[in-house]
Amino acid sequence: MKAVFQTDRGRVRLHNEDAGGVFGNKDGYRLAVVADGMGGHRAGDVASQMTITTLKSEWETSRGIVTADDAENWLKDQIKSVNLLLLDHATNHSECDGMGTTIVAAIITDTFATIANIGDSRGYLLNEIGFKQITEDHSLVNELVRSGQISKEDAEHHPRKNVLLRALGTEKTVEMDIRTIIFEEGDILLLCSDGLSNKVNEAQMMDILQNEEDLNQKAGSLVFLANENGGEDNITLAIVEFSETREDDSRC
């Protein structure tokens, strides 16, 4: 397995409210996570960093996750725990009132990947079939697209594009999407915040992921292109490639 994580403040924002990383557990499996924080004065980075720090700590001490059910249950339990942790922190720290974060997280083993998401941070899969988004945005414009009120093209420039219908840390109960996919030799999983997906289209993502660069260079190329196209938001991504090689640059 090869993996890389990169985050960039972008060209406009004063602070980076994204966080993430790729982490290993006691069985050698990976947890890749991207969180895009929001709300309050500097509270977005508090929400995203608390999410990553907590999941990293829990994952690094975990073991015995061998089936898709194991992975799905771990993600459900841990994300629900983080949700309550964020709510409690916001309740006890007035400067963090209203904070929250998106999350897209994937457990990757030698045979499958299990992906959970809340909000509009996304997961994409590149395999022998092609390149496609494998998560569903929990946003107002996506609901308008799903209901046929606007087209996918209209959604790209909709004035309320950033309105989320779900986020982590904003309600007592949290609903997430979760799915498991087969992950095979040569497959590439891309997780990213909307700072990337709003600025780099799927054709460009696929071209970069399929080129001959190493994973660090591919990640850098994606960040560079998002900045070249405006860089108005923080840009964060994790790339995991199924390979027998265990070379990686995984970090928070």
The band of 252, judged by pLDDT with boundaries at 50, 70 and 90, is very low
pTM recorded for the entire structure: 0.93
Tell me what percent of the residues of the chain surpass a pLDDT of 90.
81
Q: Tens of pLDDT along 139-192? A: 888 888 788 888 777 777 776 777 899 999 999 999 999 999 999 999 999 999
Closest CA to 236 of 122, 126, 134: 122
Helices (H) and strands (E) in the chain, counts: 7, 11
Which residues pair with residue 240 across a beta bridge?
A: 3, 189
Backbone angles phi, psi at 180, to 5 degrees: -120, 135
Closest CA to 123 of 131, 113, 112, 133: 133
Higher pLDDT, 81 or 157: 81
Q: Tens of pLDDT along 184-229? A: 999 999 999 999 999 999 999 999 999 999 999 999 999 999 999 9
162 contacts 137 by C-beta, under 8 angstroms? no
Q: Tens of pLDDT along 91-139? A: 999 889 889 999 999 999 999 999 999 999 999 999 999 999 999 999 8
